[in-house]
Amino acid sequence: MINTNEGKESEKLAEFYQEAFRVYDRDREPPQVEVSFYPYIGINHTIRIRNGRVYVRIAEVCRQMPDDGQRALAFILVAKLYRRRVPKRARDVYSGYATNAEIRDRAAANKRVRGRKIVTTDKGEFFDLAAIFDRLNAEYFDGALPKPTLTWSARKTYRILGHHDATHDTIVVSRSLDSKDTPKFVVDYIVFHEMLHIHHPTIHHNGRRYNHTAAFRADEEKFDHFEAAEKWIEQNVRRLKRNAKKK
Ligand SMILES: [Zn+2]
């Protein structure tokens, strides 16, 4: 999982959402909308309302989607929020781009697998992934989750903070988080998210893959420090990026 929140671009996207809100709810002023990109594996987007604010997360793989695709996606997500029919045109425009994005995403995932280092290390300098897994497994899964290979990534990635590789039964956590500056609950949260991928295996339906289902999202929110962890990640991505580049 993970993300970035680039100012100008997000503002432009937020306006597409406000436009959609004006169409679906004519009587009210459109809400404040925050849009960010998340390194969901596969094409998954989420829209949530919290305290009157709307939070949209777009899969990282759709970051390069042109404006008409982004606008179409805004209408799709807002229509879903209001349980209204998705306009056919929006669906057509969006799916044209989404298909390409998904192909690219799969190609990238395959490359990651092929380029995988054999060496695995679950003990970082500051955090022990195996110990974290055991504790979370006891706390949230009654100890029922089979233990995968756990490893820190070879490089300090910042876009993808965690990844569950089902083929190799491996959870990879970005080495950029193995730092004294990372709160413990953040590493816990990343591991927890990837554990949920074991608990909720990918659903294949009509040639599409669904990783973050509604049930997955509901379980994700059961994490004790859910809000705090999401907030920390959003606020620290820039710093992680800097550190990743410094090397
Ligand atoms: Zn995920």
pLDDT, one tens digit per residue, over 159-200 is: 789 989 888 889 999 999 999 999 999 999 999 999 999 999
CATH number, domain 7-111 = 3.30.2010
pTM for the full predicted model: 0.58
Residue 75 Cα to ligand 1 midpoint, Å, equals 24
Indicate the Cα dihedral angle 81, 83, 84, 85, nearest 10°: 100
Above 70 in pLDDT, residue 148?
Answer: yes
Classify each residue of 4-38 as buried b or exposed e, where b means 16 or more C-beta atoms within 10 Å of its C-beta. Answer: bbeeeebeebbebbbebbeeeeeeeebeebbbbbb
How many angstroms separate the alpha carbon of residue 26 from the centre of ligand 1? 35
Q: What is the DSSP string of 23-52?
A: HH-TTSPPPPEEEEEE--SSS--EEEEETT
Ligand 1 centre distance from Cα of residue 212 (Å)? 6
pLDDT at residue number 6: 56
Rounded distance from Cα 219 to ligand 1 centre (Å): 12
Distance 1 CA to ligand 1 centre (A): 5
Domain map of the chain by residue range? Answer: 7-111, 116-246
CA of 140 to the centre of ligand 1 (A): 17
Measure 88 CA to ligand 1 centroid, in angstroms: 28
Give me the helix-helix angle, 67-81 and 7-24, nearest 10°. Answer: 50
CATH number of 116-246: 3.30.2010.10
What is the 7 CA–ligand 1 centroid distance (Å)? 24
Distance 186 CA to ligand 1 centre (A): 15
Radius of gyration of the chain (CA): 18
Distance 41 CA to ligand 1 centre (A): 6
pLDDT tens digits for 45-88?
889 888 889 999 888 778 888 899 999 999 999 998 888 988 89
